[in-house]
């Protein structure tokens, strides 16, 4: 039961317990409203019987006060169980989603839209937070309390009980019948919403290029169409739900009429007493209210399944796992007949084999799209190879826990990612336990002092979203400072200087030379300047290693691919625009 609820509602074990407690308090609160109905019933009975004695006045007075106190206390506990515990569960759910996403392979993110994943973690989690604080306990509580009241009244008078509560099974039948129809409307609405959010995000992300090409109005056209589509799908979905909700609510009201009609017939024929008739009228006037309120949220209850399914897609996706023992016999990184593809249709690597030795710099070169960056991603186990073997210090990296493996790696990408925090904290990501002095030492080795000292608050300056207040070279140096601070035995450099000007490239190259000292180094690059001091060059074309050796040996091969690349670069450097 517990595991079913955890899966069905994307709840933690504690969340299931809190949900059941909240539902219990809703049931008790709904049943507590029977107390004042009972007091009214006995009060009217006494009045009809000939009056109320002074002792009974005290009884009804104390009963009224007690019922109010009980209702207040139960409402207090119900509120706490519904809201405070739900907000804590929402925090657990978001952390759980983040932890699961952290363990998923990069291949998963290649298949999913980032805007969609963001929607799940933020928007869908908020929807469930609202559902379990405002809707779900109330709905199940209303159903359970109604069933309990019906069962008890069946023993009192089964005819009146059936006349009063036949509407409940009919209402529930309508609710479950509407699920299929609502799902048919909800999925297109959700897809339209995701497309709209993706379009808006793309517009904002590319606003610089849009403005540069005077395309503001033109690029807004598809966004306006997607917004109109969301509006249309939302109206259709709401209309589809409204038909069932209004029908169910109308049937609930018919229950009052059937109670009155059947009760009147039985009363006229002397089969029930006036007080029995009166009691059933009092009960139906109150017992329908919780269910009526829950039906208003029918759409949310039905749509919740879609929201939970989207979360379970994340939870159910196979995570990358492995041995947490990170011991290796050295740090030689070896590829042996490695094959890989991002999808089933196109092979990216077709039997790559080479060895990057500890204490040496291995440069991966070749034309764009040849598979160099893919080799770097496989080396860090961002993806798992389809065939072949990748070992670090003699150990298969596919058998190592990704986080344990990555403790051995310092990685510098071409596209640096920085956070809206201080320079100090952006560098400290490389080693969260590092002191300020250690951070500044790494920054100095990465030649960061030059620009950090010009910032308003030095190392405590906030650099904006993704370091927007810094230049490309400055951002790259912060990335290298992170890697220096981590001081891992394996260094991966993926086009680390490709987008820099000559001056910045020189500064960054100096920082890289400090970073790579006595490490296993793999450099992915195009420029000869970047690879000329490498110990080994591995040329990759069309997913295959076509040649490998020292730069000096390869450049002497007249028909060699590396030699041809060097000649073309020299010709390119000598080219100039004619007057």
Q: What is the DSSP string of 497-539?
A: TTT--HHHHHHHHHHHHHHTTTSEEEEE-S-HHHHTT-SEEEE
SS3 for 227-286, per residue? HHHHHHHHHHHHHHHHHHHHHHHHHHHHHHHHHHHHHHHHHHCCCCCHHHHHHHHHHHHH
pLDDT given at position 262: 92
pLDDT given at position 499: 53
For residue 7, name the pLDDT band (cuts at 50, 70, 90): confident
User: Across 40-193, where does the E strand assignment appear?
Assistant: none
Q: Is the dihedral of CA 32, 37, 41, 43 positive or negative?
A: positive
Greatest extent of the chain over all pairs of C-alpha atoms, in Å: 121
How far is it, in rounded angstroms, from Cα 188 to Cα 194?
10
Q: Taking 90 as the threshold, does the pLDDT of residue 288 lie above it?
A: no
DSSP characters over 34-51: HHHHHHHHHHHHHHHHT-
Q: Taking 60 as the threshold, does the pLDDT of residue 579 lie above it?
A: no
Other CB atoms within a 10 A radius of the CB of residue 441 amount to 15
How far is it, in rounded angstroms, from Cα 523 to Cα 407?
19
pLDDT given at position 577: 53
Look up residue 316 and give its DSSP letter: H
470 three-state secondary structure? coil
Is the full-model pTM beyond 0.75? no
How far is it, in rounded angstroms, from Cα 526 to Cα 510?
18
Which domains are seen in the chain, by residue range? 2-316 (1.20.1560.10), 331-401+530-573 (3.40.50.300)
Mean pLDDT (whole number) for 90-115: 83
Kindly calculate the radius of gyration of the chain based on its CA atoms and give it in whole angstroms: 35
How far is it, in rounded angstroms, from Cα 541 to Cα 526?
13
Q: Taking 80 as the threshold, does the pLDDT of residue 299 lie above it?
A: no
Mean pLDDT (whole number) for 570-576: 62
Q: Tell me the pairing of strands 544-549 and 536-541.
A: antiparallel
Q: Taking 80 as the threshold, does the pLDDT of residue 300 lie above it?
A: no
Name the most confidently modeled range: 103-112, 183-192, 544-553.
544-553
Give the pLDDT confidence of 36-62 residue by residue, as tens digits. 888 887 888 777 777 777 777 788 888
Give the pLDDT confidence of 390-418 residue by residue, as tens digits. 999 989 998 898 888 988 998 887 778 88
pLDDT given at position 501: 59
Nearest CA among 543, 548, 544, 577 for reference residue 560: 548
Residues 6+ apart with CB under 8 A from 36: 64, 67
């Amino acid at each position: 039961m517990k595991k079913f609820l955890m899966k069905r509602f994307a709840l933690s074990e504690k969340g299931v317990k809190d949900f059941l407690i909240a539902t219990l308090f809703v049931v008790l609160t709904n049943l507590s409203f029977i107390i004042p109905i009972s007091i009214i019933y006995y009060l009217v009975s006494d009045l009809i019987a000939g009056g109320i004695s002074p002792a009974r006045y005290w009884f009804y007075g104390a009963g009224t006060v007690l019922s109010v106190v009980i209702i207040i206390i139960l409402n207090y506990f119900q509120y706490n169980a519904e809201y405070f515990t739900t907000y804590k569960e929402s925090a657990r759910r978001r952390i759980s989603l983040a932890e699961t996403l952290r363990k998923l392979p990069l291949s998963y993110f290649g298949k999913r839209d980032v805007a969609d994943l963001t929607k799940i973690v933020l928007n869908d989690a908020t929807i469930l937070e609202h559902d379990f604080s405002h809707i779900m306990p109330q709905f199940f509580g209303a159903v359970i309390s109604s069933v309990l009241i019906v069962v008890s009244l069946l023993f009192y008078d089964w005819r009146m009980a059936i006349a009063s509560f036949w509407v409940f099974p009919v209402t529930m039948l309508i609710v479950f019948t509407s699920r299929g129809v609502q799902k048919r409307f909800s999925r297109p609405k959700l897809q339209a919403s995701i497309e709209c959010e993706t379009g808006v995000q793309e517009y904002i992300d590319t606003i610089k290029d849009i403005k540069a090409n005077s395309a503001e109005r033109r690029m807004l056209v598809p966004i306006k169409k997607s917004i109109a589509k969301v509006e249309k799908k939302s109206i259709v979905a709401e209309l589809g739900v409204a038909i069932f909700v209004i029908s169910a609510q109308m049937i609930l009201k018919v229950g009052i009429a059937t109670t009155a009609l059947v009760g009147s017939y039985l009363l006229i024929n002397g089969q029930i007493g006036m007080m029995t008739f009166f009691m059933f009228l009092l009960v139906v006037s109150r017992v329908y209210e919780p269910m009526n309120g829950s039906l208003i949220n029918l759409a949310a209850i039905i749509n919740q399944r879609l929201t939970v399914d989207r979360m379970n897609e994340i939870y159910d996706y196979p995570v990358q796992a492995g041995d947490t023992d990170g011991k290796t016999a050295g740090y030689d990184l070896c590829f042996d007949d490695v094959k890989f593809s991002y999808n089933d249709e196109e092979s990216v690597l077709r039997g790559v084999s080479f060895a990057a030795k500890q204490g040496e710099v291995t440069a991966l070169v070749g034309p764009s799209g040849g598979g160099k960056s893919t080799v770097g991603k496989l080396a860090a186990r961002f993806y798992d190879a389809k065939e072949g073997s990748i070992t670090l210090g003699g150990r298969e990296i596919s058998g190592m826990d990704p986080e344990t493996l990555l403790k051995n790696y310092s990685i510098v990408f071409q596209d640096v990612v920085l956070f809206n925090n201080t320079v100090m904290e952006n560098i400290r990501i490389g080693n969260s336990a590092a002191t300020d002095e250690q951070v500044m030492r790494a920054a100095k080795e990465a030649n960061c002092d030059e620009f950090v000292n010009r910032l308003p608050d030095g190392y405590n300056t906030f650099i904006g979203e993704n370091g927007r207040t810094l230049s490309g070279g400055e951002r790259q140096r912060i990335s290298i400072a992170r890697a220096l601070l981590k001081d891992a035995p394996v260094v991966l450099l993926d086009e680390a200087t490709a987008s820099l000007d000559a001056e910045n490239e020189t500064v960054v190259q100096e920082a890289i030379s400090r970073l790579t000292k006595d490490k296993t180094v793999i450099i992915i690059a195009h420029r000869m300047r970047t690879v000329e001091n490498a110990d080994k060059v591995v040329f990759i074309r069309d997913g295959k290693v076509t040649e490998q050796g020292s730069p000096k040996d390869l450049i002497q091969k007249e028909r060699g691919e590396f030699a041809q690349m060097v000649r073309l670069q020299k010709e390119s450097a000598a080219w100039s625009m004619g007057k």
